[in-house]
A and B are shown apart, each in its own frame.
Chain A
Amino acid sequence: MAVEEERIDSWLGKSVKRAEDDRFIAGRGNYVDDVRLPNMLHMSILRSPVAHAVITSIDTSEAAALPGVVAVVTGELMAQHNLAWMPTLSGDTQAVLATDKVRFQGQEVAAVVAEDPYTAHDALELIDVVYESLPVVVDPHASLEEGAPLIRDDKEDQEDNRIYHWEAGDKEPTERAFEKADVIVSLDTHYPRSHPSPLECCACIADVNPATGKATIYMTSQAPHAIRTVFALVTGLPEQNIQIISPDIGGGFGNKVPVYPGYVVATAASLLIGRPVKWIEDRTGNLISTGFARDFHMKGELALTKSGKMLGLRVNMLSDQGYAYADAQPSKFKAGLFHIVTGSYDLGAAHVVAEGAYTNKAPGGVAYRCSFRVTEASYLIERLVNSAAYELEMDPAELRRQNFIKKEQFPYTSVTGFVYDSGDYHQALDLALEKSGYTSLRQEQERARSEGKLLGIGLASFTEVVGAGPSRDFDILGIKMFDSAELRVHPTGKAILKLGVKSQGQGHETTFAQIVANELGIPPQDIVVHEGDTDNTPYGLGTYASRSTPTGGAATAVVARKLRDKARAIAAHTLEVAPEDLEWELGRFFVKGAPDKSTTIQEIAFAAYTNHPLGMEAGLEGVHYYDPPNMTYPFGSYVVAVEVDPDTGEWMVRTMVAVDDCGVRINPMIVEGQIMGGLTEGFATSMMQQISFDDDGNCLGSNFMDYLIPTSWETPKFELFETTTPSPHHPIGCKGVGESATVGSPAAYVNAVIDALAHLGVRNIDMPLTSAKVWEAIQTAPGS
């Protein structure tokens, strides 16, 4: 064993190189499509070309007769097994394969199972479906109007296209605040539909073994345990016979949380045929049918005094949910955590009215690093604050400073019911302004304007709410949102950690090993981290909404501490002292006052199996299910400077400074990677990403030529900085960070472009701010 040259006191704050990289750089990742099983079949899906139509007939005979085709599955066949419809994660239902009608373009209508994927796709062309078109509704406002076509006529008590009505805050005090206001700023904006679009599409291999009755399902799933339970309920297969294995996942971003029809059809097909069935989605399928993101129509009003003190906030929001209410969010909150919309500000009154409507589009909504709709909320408030600054002729940084929740006010209870754990918003903003050279930027902007050049500076100061969540408030389909960690130390002092969360690139194999290392002193390279196999990991709710470190990380720290307590008892036994006479430093116990009398964690691990105290169980292991006492509240301030070409409307980012505070950072390198990924998604959202529909319900963003992902050439450079305000309730002070930048940055980019045009009177352009839209805004601006 190599002699340790440097004594490590802590494994937190260390940018340990990632353990998972070795296989990825060698091209030896194990994604679902890389898995081959003997006798495996391939499945393809036939999708509806129309958005709303009755299915008059389906003729699969020619397809079934094609050599190499083993089965053609329709909704009718699924219905015979009670599988034509399935529950969604929000308590609604959605179709697996269409039976009566299709309700969105791209909906799954039939599936072909064949010996090879080429044949499976050849057969699709031979399926003859006759559709009888129905009127289409693609606008949620229109869908709520009298006389709109009824989309969910399959549901007994559904008389219109209304899904939910939900409120937060308090109407009365808010009305009074608005009556007292000197200034009311309003913003009517559509946060457009976009799509997480991870580079790996959704996929599964369903292997229902006819001899054992065991169903092994390889699946791109961010939440394999919850999905296993849902599968058991939906398919009737006994839960102990279902094993979901999520191997390496090529990006999730919320896209891989829901149960998709392809998974259910593949499983049913495997059950009926008795061979494994592989279904690999293509990009068109991914974009046209899987969980999209956003699509909130928001009207916000902010009431202020003339000196800039915020008095109240009123929000009306209409959510376009597609044809089924299918997004994954805690059941108590119909609009996710949208009511965090008071943001970083000490607002005395707020009232949020949220409604959801059906349209002829794919279902979804909560996805793409949104923290359960915090993206939408944060965007709205930061854009409103920007508008208020113009209205009051105040510097937007000053306006924010004046209204921020102050450091001394934490823990802070907001008027919509959140208890913010900790924060120092002033510090983060000041740092962002300093590092971006804000004052010089403003001076430069003055000069630029006099030369007819358009330079804009945008700010955003966001507060996130993540780590879902405390059992009193959080459940998905009734399952509470705890998370878990199971830790076992082997006789030779190495360890295995098994988790209920599931990384899709966030680096858990490294970060979580660091958590254990920090509690027990076992070096991270001696700890293997295992996730994603439901037979071999404790039950968890998975990875999304930045919850892994706040919940799974906490569980890991707690279980490691339990093991340390047992280690102390074993050490006391082997050193023949009382447990209280021992002191701990990372990796060993030593006798107080006699530091040479010590024993390492490795020695203790060996003793746990060879020399444990009489009456004590052998081994050194434990499992912990962690119920977080509260959410965590990462926050930050972003400053963006842009230049706009007045003749073409094109804009480019000149400066992007991001200050993030996610509490304690376990692996700063990984944290920064998450932030940069999110800043890029925010950039993409603000400049180019959108899934839109024409009046016939044709999806205009179902491939990468139409749905735009920025390349290395467009993507700006980022300068990252940090402040650290630990979470007081988290065992190691961490808050989670995966989504902060996607939440906070779109408003910063948009505020910057608006700022470049503000002197012309422009106040809003809805995202994406394409060059065409920016140009139009300049043409129609009052001051042009």
Chain B
Amino acid sequence: MAKQNLTATVNGSPRTSDVEPRKLLVHWIRDELGLTGTHIGCDTTSCGACTVLIDGLPIKSCTMFAIQAQGRAVTTVEGLKQDGKLHALQEGFKEEHGLQCGFCTPGMMLTASALLEDNPSPNEEEIRWALSGNLCRCTGYQNIVKAVKWAAKKRESERVDAGPQ
């Protein structure tokens, strides 16, 4: 089929291009938009290295056609940093050694970011459950849990500092 026009908001900015309907979202993000922080780790929708947020919801971008993102807001790892400031999760992953090779890390952080929006103070079990769709081969997950907790605590203290809204 001929290409169709796709316009989506990616990390806050409108992006548009003509895509074959079969083009997977992850390929559009990596190859067309040049945002290579989203990774491909498997071919059976199993590993979560390709996780992005669609309207705030973490999904596996390898199992969605790019054209499905029409008119929606896509957030990739490159969009975690806001106004020159790292997301608490990005800091937390560095503070708590939550990454080694870095390949699963973008997906992990995005899934965790959605968790923290939903549940600002998750316990270990809730964190492990929320991340059970993102595989890591290097860390054994323990420091990833610590990283998420670090980020939750940082965001909590920032909310406290910011005072009642």
A and B touch in the complex (CB under 8 A): yes
Residues of A within 8 A of B (CB): 17-18, 20-29, 31, 33-34, 36, 117-118, 197-201, 248-251, 253, 280, 282-284, 504-507, 669-670, 672-674, 676-681, 703-705, 709, 711-713, 715, 717-718
The 7 tightest CB contacts between A and B, nearest first, are A27-B37, A505-B101, A24-B102, A250-B103, A27-B77, A704-B46, A505-B100
Within 8 A of A (CB), among B67-93: 76-78, 80-81, 86, 90-91, 93
Report the nearest A residue to B127, measured CB to CB.
A712
Pairwise interchain contact A676-B139, C-beta atoms closer than 8 A:
yes
The number of residue pairs between A and B whose CB atoms lie closer than 8 Å in the complex comes to 170
Q: How many residues of B contact A (CB 8 A)?
A: 58
Which of B53-61, B128-136, B154-162 forms part of the interface with chain A? B128-136
Which DSSP category, helix, strand, loop or mixed, fits chain A's interface?
Answer: loop
B22 within 8 A of A: yes
- Best-surrounded residue of B40, B90, B137 (most CB of chain A within 10 A): B137
Chain A nearest CB, measured from B11 CB (Å): 10
Q: Given A33-B36, A283-B41 in contact, is the A200-B103 Cβ separation under 8 Å?
A: yes
A–B complex contacts, Cβ < 8 Å, 12 sampled: A17-B97, A27-B36, A27-B38, A27-B106, A198-B103, A199-B136, A200-B41, A249-B101, A250-B39, A673-B139, A681-B137, A715-B140
Pairwise interchain contact B49-A199, C-beta atoms closer than 8 A:
yes
Q: Pick the residue among B34, B38, B41, B81 that contacts A201 (CB under 8 A).
A: B41
Q: Type the 1/0 row for B100-139, where 1 means its CB is closer than 8 Å to any CB of A.
A: 1111111001000000000000000001110111111111
Pairwise interchain contact A25-B90, C-beta atoms closer than 8 A:
yes
Q: Pick the residue among B30, B102, B127 that contacts A29 (CB under 8 A).
A: B102
Residues of A within 8 A of B86 (CB): 25
Report the nearest B residue to A20, measured CB to CB.
B102
Report the nearest B residue to A23, measured CB to CB.
B102
Pairwise interchain contact A713-B132, C-beta atoms closer than 8 A:
yes
Which DSSP category, helix, strand, loop or mixed, fits chain B's interface?
Answer: loop
User: With A and B bound together, what is the CA distance between A673 and B42 in angstroms?
Assistant: 24
Chain A nearest CB, measured from B40 CB (Å): 7
Pairwise interchain contact B102-A248, C-beta atoms closer than 8 A:
yes
Q: Given A18-B94, A27-B76 in contact, is the A199-B47 Cβ separation under 8 Å?
A: yes
Q: Pick the residue among A197, A505, A507, A718 that contacts B140 (CB under 8 A).
A: A718
Pairwise interchain contact A507-B100, C-beta atoms closer than 8 A:
yes
Pairwise interchain contact A709-B94, C-beta atoms closer than 8 A:
no
Q: Pick the residue among A20, A280, A705 that contacts B46 (CB under 8 A).
A: A705
Pairwise interchain contact A283-B44, C-beta atoms closer than 8 A:
yes
Residues of A within 8 A of B80 (CB): 27
Pairwise interchain contact B97-A670, C-beta atoms closer than 8 A:
yes
Residues of A within 8 A of B140 (CB): 676-680, 715, 718
Residues of B within 8 A of A198 (CB): 101, 103, 137
User: With A and B bound together, what is the CA distance between A18 and B132 in angstroms?
Assistant: 26
User: With A and B bound together, what is the CA distance between A283 and B39 in angstroms?
Assistant: 13
Chain B nearest CB, measured from A144 CB (Å): 34
Pairwise interchain contact B132-A26, C-beta atoms closer than 8 A:
no
Pairwise interchain contact B90-A712, C-beta atoms closer than 8 A:
no
- Best-surrounded residue of A23, A28, A29, A284 (most CB of chain B within 10 A): A29
Residues of B within 8 A of A711 (CB): 131-135, 141
User: With A and B bound together, what is the CA distance between A183 and B134 in angstroms?
Assistant: 49
Chain A nearest CB, measured from B144 CB (Å): 7
Pairwise interchain contact A199-B141, C-beta atoms closer than 8 A:
no
Pairwise interchain contact B99-A704, C-beta atoms closer than 8 A:
no
Pairwise interchain contact A705-B44, C-beta atoms closer than 8 A:
yes
User: With A and B bound together, what is the CA distance between A17 and B150 in angstroms?
Assistant: 15
